[in-house]
Structure 1
């Protein structure tokens, strides 16, 4: 039996184009809506397998629909598609565990891959946005910094001065292996990304903040 899907977009031409593509992929499109509130009500009524939602619509925006769907514990898988590349909005979508996030300019090319990944049980986000999120400047958080031990703060200061692990080990009278262990713990406490240079970038950019606290 074909998977069911509802499309919500206040641009009828765009919605019809997505309908054509989805039908070509074997989906049963059971509704097209230009108003977010109407889309939400019909998602609750019909409980489709999927909902493809524009971010900005009259009545209710895409993220508000997601919040309400999650609150009702509906099993409908949600894909947001939008022309906006605002990282804060993308982050909100990730926090709501949106199943897919497409940019309209790439939607035709990315839609099939997105659906395939969701069918496998994975979430799919446009790689360009995910890369921007991972590369964003990490803000200084006094609360997180206060979680660091005296030794860890000392190592952060060394890192901010662009010292290598070998140089830090010599200065702190510890082994390089111990330095690497401290680095991992510091990254976890500061909630930094897993990128290799994330701690170095954070330390250099925020040296002026944490040096005032020590």
Structure 2
């Protein structure tokens, strides 16, 4: 049977290129998503073998999506496409259950290798990414402490993207009061009491791009 895949990237041209690459090798593309929330919904619907996730996506980034996918579809292997090789991004991805990290600039060469490796039960890291992991290990790097829950981190990303409380509530399927409660808890836990401060924190954590 063909390996089943869902693709998630907020750039349609990137998704199209990856689809062409994978379909040429007889992989079955079950769906495409333009943001992390759509990716999670597609995985919940189809339970594919592999989810290819861009790191920087609106509403829910690739690492956040991978963490949710790990809970709702444990058999799905997550592969992250990233422009970053910073140690803390890679370590956070691995802790979220990512089984493969591929640099977007090398995706054409390495994505097929990554999919085959993770489907065989292994882990695949692009050479420059694996170098970052080795350096982090040698330096005994610890991730910066993050007191937020997965849901609070998602709310933080939405706030940093400029979403208002009612929009956040609609996206998450909760009441406006619940969304506001999450927002207040985020500010209290981070001891940050302005939207501008939350945006700066979200950029430092890689939740949004500067």
TM-score (norm 1): 0.61
What residue number does 1:5 align with? 5
Higher relative contact order (CA 8 A, sep 6+): 2
**How many angstroms does 1:139 deviate by?**
5.5
Match of 1:15 in 2: 15
Gaps of 5+ in 1: 142-214
Counterpart secondary structure, 1:6: strand
Aligned mates of 1:131, 1:45 — CA distance in 2: 36
**Secondary structure of 2:131 counterpart:** helix
Task: Note if contact 2:86-2:132 (Cα within 8 Å) is conserved in structure 1.
Answer: no
Please list the CA deviations of residues 143-165 of structure 1 after superposition, one character each: whole Å capped at 9, or x if unmatched. Answer: xxxxxxxxxxxxxxxxxxxxxxx
Compute the displacement of 1:59 (Å). Answer: 1.7
> 1:116: how far off?
2.2
Please state whether the residue corresponding to 1:30 is helix, strand or coil.
strand
**Which shows bigger deviation, 16-25 or 119-128?**
119-128
Q: How far 1:73 moved relative to its partner? A: 4.8
Matching of residues 153-164 of structure 1 within 5 Å: none
Offset, 1:6:
0.4
Trace 1:1-214 onto structure 2 (pairs within 5 A): 1-136=1-136, 138=139
Q: How many residues align?
A: 141
Alpha-carbon offset, residue 80 of structure 1? 0.4
RMSD, aligned CA: 1.8
1: CA distance, partners of 2:103 / 2:50: 17
Offset from partner CA, 1:166-198 (integer Å, 9 cap, x none) = xxxxxxxxxxxxxxxxxxxxxxxxxxxxxxxxx
The runs of 4+ residues in structure 1 deviating greater than 3 Å are none
Q: Which runs of 5+ in 2 are unaligned?
A: 143-210
What's the secondary structure of 1:134's corresponding residue?
helix
SS at match of 1:78: strand
**TM-score when normalising by structure 2:** 0.63
Higher Rg: 1
Report the Cα distance in structure 1 between the residues aligned to 2:3 and 2:140, rounded to whole angstroms.
42
d(CA) in 2 for partners of 1:79, 1:68? 14
Tell me the secondary structure at the aligned position of residue 99 of structure 1.
Answer: strand
